[in-house]
Amino acid sequence: MIEAVNGKKISDYTEYENEDEIILRLGSQFRVKSDVFKQSNGSYLVRLIELGENNNQPLAAPMNQIQFRQATLQK
* 68 assigned to some structural domain: no
* 70 assigned to some structural domain: no
* 13 assigned to some structural domain: yes
List all residues 6 or more positions away from 19 whose beta carbon is below 8 Å from its beta carbon: 11
pTM for the full predicted model: 0.53
* 22 assigned to some structural domain: yes
pLDDT in tens, 29-67: 888 887 888 889 988 888 888 887 765 665 555 555 556
d(CA 13, CA 62): 24
* 59 assigned to some structural domain: no
* 60 assigned to some structural domain: no
Domain limits for position 15: 2-54
When divided into structural domains, the chain yields a total of 1
Q: Compare 66 and 12 and report the one with higher pLDDT.
A: 12
